[in-house]
Amino acid sequence: MEPSYEPLLKQFRKYIVVDNALRDAIQSRCDVRLFRKGEIIHHSDRVCVRSYFIITGLVRTYYVKDGVEISEYFSAEKEWVNSPKSFIQQTLDIYDIDALEDTEAYSIEVHDLVYLFDHFPLMERYARLSMGHVFGHLMERITVQRFSTAREKYEHFLKVYHDIYHRIPLGMIASYLGITQSTLSRLRAEK
């Protein structure tokens, strides 16, 4: 059975008009991938050549420092995930991506995305507008991490991840916030 690309097309339509030619090009250059809970989607020892738009499931982007996994961000339904620097610059980066739940996602290879940019100028508009949203989120995260108390970091996390925080293991939340799990437990108890 041919997969439905409607959720992916709906994402593009948030920012651009998707005519029949662009729709057909997107559908012909994407496929659907399934990842089991715990499966590594991207290894930091490889160049990231695919970007994924999540249909169902939850993934984590993280890095390892001194043998400890540090959660950088979480992505769920209707969100893109890749190792950004590796994907854009086609170089190695520090990030690994794993599935926290069974996950189904549309997948597009970097060369297919370049083809879409080259042949459909509206795709560059999509990239610019959607990346503006991501950039705003990352700048907010940096500010919160640098200038906020543990309580403020936790409250911000609950706001940003309001739909999915209950699906994320507490140890991963603590590493995302840059606090210990015991501090997180105390903050949760005070709520």
* Of 3-7, 12-16, 49-53, minimum mean pLDDT range: 3-7
Residue 129 forms part of a structural domain:
no
Q: For all residues of the chain together, what is the average pLDDT?
A: 93
Average pLDDT over residues 1-11: 85
Q: Is residue 33 part of a domain?
A: yes
Q: What are phi and psi of 14, to 5 degrees?
A: -65, -25
Ramachandran category for residue 62: left, alpha or beta (phi over 0 → left; psi -120 to 50 → alpha): beta
pTM: 0.92
Query: What is the total count of domains within the chain?
Result: 1
- In tens, the pLDDT along 142-166 reads 888 889 999 999 999 999 999 999 9
Is residue 93, in this structure, part of any structural domain at all? yes
Residue 102 within a domain: yes
Spatial distance between the Cα atoms of 50 and 90, rounded to a whole number of angstroms: 10
Is 191 a residue whose pLDDT tops 70? no
Quote the distance between the C-alpha of residue 144 and its chain's center: 19
| 149 is a domain residue | no
* Enclosing domain of residue 67: 6-121
Report the first-to-last Cα separation within the chain, whole angstroms.
47
* 16-60 tens-digit pLDDT: 999 999 999 999 999 999 999 999 999 999 999 999 999 999 999
Q: Would you state the pLDDT for residue 164?
A: 95
Using DSSP's 3-state secondary structure scheme, residue 120 falls into coil
Query: How open is the CA angle 160-162-167, to the nearest 5 degrees?
Result: 115
117, with CB counted inside 10 A (0-12, 13-18, 19+), is middle
Confidence grade of residue 190 (pLDDT, cut at 50, 70, 90): confident
Taking the C-alpha atoms of residue 119 and residue 114, their distance in angstroms, rounded to an integer, is 9
Token couple for 14: 């948030």
Three-state DSSP at 154 gives helix
Query: Does 167 reside within a domain?
Result: no
Does 154 map to a domain? no
- pLDDT over 60 at 1, yes or no: no
Task: Flag whether 30 is in a domain.
Answer: yes
CATH number at residue 93: 2.60.120.10
